[in-house]
Chains A and B, each alone.
Chain A
Amino acid sequence: MRIVPIIVISALLSSGHALAHHSFSAEFDSEKPITLSGKITRMQWSNPHGWIYIDVANEDGTVTNWALETRAANSLIRRGWRRDDLPAGTPIVVNGFEARNGTPTANIQSITLEDGRNFMSGNADEVPD
């Protein structure tokens, strides 16, 4: 591996860094911050955004599968992340903003893994998304 994954303790809500393909406010609502915790069911390594899907337990006992928008796969790859880093079943805690259209979708501002690694640190203007 050429680049070692950056280990940073949660640099939260720093900027609109997951964007660069569509207007943030056209899809997500900055008035609706959300914290979700659950296990990864699937990771889609795609551009212009990657997507992480997690199962989140609701208070009524049901489970909702949330779609979480990440940086572009290319950006994650250049930051040293690899497919094996986020296998299905991995527990994560996510901070982000909910989608405006009411679907279980959120833009991710930070993801914290159990080992303290943060998935989304940094500034998008310096690293391509």
Chain B
Amino acid sequence: MTIRLFSLALALLGCFPLAGMAQDIPRSANGTPDMQGIWQAQTQSAVNLEDHVARVDVHAGQSVVAGGSIPYQDWALARRQENFANRGELDPLNKCFLPGTPRIMAMPWPFQIFQTDKHVAITFEWTQVYRLIYTAGQEPLYPGFEHWMGDSRGRWEGDTLVVEIRDLNDRTWMDAAGNFHSAAAVITERYTLQNANTIRYQATIDDPEVFTEPWTISYPLARQSELTRLLEYQCQAEVEEANGEFEPEENLWYPAPVPEENFPFDTQASTSLRLPDVPADIERRNGGNPDISGYFMSSPSGANYGLEKRENFDIFPPAGGVVVDPIDGVLPYQTWARQEMLERREPWRGYDDPTAHCFVAGIPRSHYVPSPFYILQPPGYVIILHERMSYRVIPLDGREHLPDSIRLWMGDAVGHWEGDTLVVESSNYNGKAWLNELGDVTSHAQTVVETYTPVSDNQIIYRATVSDPIAYSRPWTIEMPLNQAQEELLEVACLEDNNDLPHLKDVRDEHRASLNQEN
């Protein structure tokens, strides 16, 4: 018995080698606390980090600041009061600008945490924002360039994930009450899993330009066990749909029907394309599926300016096109949909392209915007973080798609491995995205099957087969290489400095005025 107890004690020590570790929390394969899952802050501090009373549609809340109040320097306190008085006009979040960190953590939307041995990623339902936290001692490649969300580097201290955020800009607020920091701020977050369903979140703000001393906020993050995935809240898109600036395309957006005059959709018409060969010595994860993680940039042959082969168009050089099925490289458009595409090339339609408004690019466009992206393979998922501030979460558990009534810009993706190829099937699109700047057409009815086949340790062959019975007469497939580089993602804050949109609106409005004059 003594020996048995001794063995049991040894076994327990083996599982939990560090003294003081909580023993009732889930752990990753490498022994660190496993925080993977969907979470949401339990706090009213998105409204005001300090004590605040209720207002219309605003909950009252007690301070989450240690000691109760923020130790502002006198000038900064005066500015905070001015911010508060003019918050409707001045709060950057009212313009749908990136919320910054730590504000994003307290906002009343869920977020999902993913962990690998070298990264922690947090994807937020609010406007497809994500954070990529490097946790393996990687030094930043581009220190000194400011970001709205900051540059996050993490490390494990015992069972606590400690994240240091630097290179923040001075354009965000820390809540809706006007609390702010300068670009000199360094924020240190501490994530401690207290039990399977609670993370204690702390953040210490050190900013000698604004405060008299460092100060700390703290609140719990609660696991959202009933949520199977994040949905979308695309802030600016919702605002512009509501105010009429982003006009609906009733024949493409959900729930547009298949037009009666369409050619019948031939689901069987696809050419059989053999997947590329995968070298036997391809890098693998723990001897299993290929390792496709890292920073990638596609080589898209001008796909963002047209998927088909083309001669010169405006200032664009000739391009070979990326359509590999049909084999003639011509998209099998319905007649009306090709007319729509050609009309979108007119200057006055440029305003209608969602990416000109800084909305997300959708699928498959996100792969050839062109903008780089980062693939991670946390347990049970592949996730793709696009530098143009959007992401995809691809569960590998064979789950059912979302109900038909739930529609998303980026679609609902489910993946699986077929041999050494990652296959991703997606549906539930809202039909609001364009396929590129020249207006190749897609609708809410599209389903997409993508394959990611690693053909070397630094290249993936990407294919996307789009089946869209509203805009096309048969499925079609594009192909392009994704090239890996030893790079890091930077941040694209698009809406925040989008000087172009007023110009595009001028061109559209002038066209409409000329039409009115003719009439």
**Pair A16/B387 contact, Cβ less than 8 Å:** no
Number of interface residues of A (CB under 8 A): 41
- Could you write out 6 A-B pairs with CB less than 8 Å apart? A21-B356, A21-B494, A21-B500, A22-B355, A23-B438, A128-B372
Chain A contacts for B141, CB-based, 8 A? 2
| CB closest chain-A residue, reference B369 | A20
Chain B contacts for A77, CB-based, 8 A? 142, 145, 490
Give the Cβ gap from B136 to chain A, nearest Cβ, in Å.
Answer: 19
**Pair A125/B371 contact, Cβ less than 8 Å:** no
- For window 469-519 of B, CB contacts with A under 8 Å fall at 487, 490-494, 496-501, 503-504, 506-507, 510
Taken residue by residue from 33 to 56, chain A's Cβ proximity to chain B (1 for < 8 Å, 0 otherwise) reads as 000000000001111110100000
The answer to whether the Cβ of B297 comes within 8 Å of any Cβ in the partner chain is yes
Number of interface residues of B (CB under 8 A): 50
Chain A contacts for B145, CB-based, 8 A? 45, 73, 77
Give the Cβ gap from B15 to chain A, nearest Cβ, in Å.
Answer: 42
**Pair A22/B504 contact, Cβ less than 8 Å:** yes
- For window 1-41 of A, CB contacts with B under 8 Å fall at 2, 13-16, 19-27, 30
CA distance A97 to B316 in the complex (A): 13
The answer to whether the Cβ of B305 comes within 8 Å of any Cβ in the partner chain is yes
The residue from A21, A44, A49, A101 contacting B507, defined by CB atoms under 8 A apart:
A101
Q: Tell me the B residues contacting A by CB distance below 8 Å.
A: 141-142, 145, 297, 299-302, 304-305, 314-317, 345, 347-351, 353, 355-356, 358, 369-372, 387-388, 437-439, 487, 490-494, 496-501, 503-504, 506-507, 510
The residue from A45, A69, A73 contacting B500, defined by CB atoms under 8 A apart:
A69
CA distance A97 to B315 in the complex (A): 10
Taken residue by residue from 92 to 129, chain A's Cβ proximity to chain B (1 for < 8 Å, 0 otherwise) reads as 00000101110101000000000000000000111111
**Pair B315/A20 contact, Cβ less than 8 Å:** no
**Pair A19/B437 contact, Cβ less than 8 Å:** yes
**Pair A16/B315 contact, Cβ less than 8 Å:** yes
**Pair A27/B317 contact, Cβ less than 8 Å:** no
Give the Cβ gap from B328 to chain A, nearest Cβ, in Å.
Answer: 23
Say whether chain B's binding surface is mostly helix, strand, loop, or mixed.
loop
CA distance A108 to B242 in the complex (A): 34
CA distance A2 to B494 in the complex (A): 26
Chain B contacts for A46, CB-based, 8 A? 493, 496-497
Say whether chain A's binding surface is mostly helix, strand, loop, or mixed.
loop
Q: Tell me the A residues contacting B by CB distance below 8 Å.
A: 2, 13-16, 19-27, 30, 44-49, 51, 67, 69, 72-74, 77-78, 97, 99-101, 103, 105, 124-129
Give the Cβ gap from B173 to chain A, nearest Cβ, in Å.
Answer: 19
**Pair A47/B492 contact, Cβ less than 8 Å:** yes
CA distance A2 to B488 in the complex (A): 13
Give the Cβ gap from B441 to chain A, nearest Cβ, in Å.
Answer: 15
**Pair B504/A26 contact, Cβ less than 8 Å:** yes
| CB closest chain-B residue, reference A33 | B315
**Pair B494/A30 contact, Cβ less than 8 Å:** no
CA distance A67 to B355 in the complex (A): 21
Chain B contacts for A97, CB-based, 8 A? 315
CA distance A78 to B506 in the complex (A): 33
**Pair A105/B503 contact, Cβ less than 8 Å:** yes
Chain A contacts for B353, CB-based, 8 A? 22-23, 26
**Pair A24/B371 contact, Cβ less than 8 Å:** no
**Pair A129/B370 contact, Cβ less than 8 Å:** yes
CA distance A98 to B347 in the complex (A): 14
Chain B contacts for A44, CB-based, 8 A? 497
Q: Known interface pairs A21-B494, A48-B358, A126-B299. Does A16 touch B507 (Cβ–Cβ under 8 Å)?
A: no
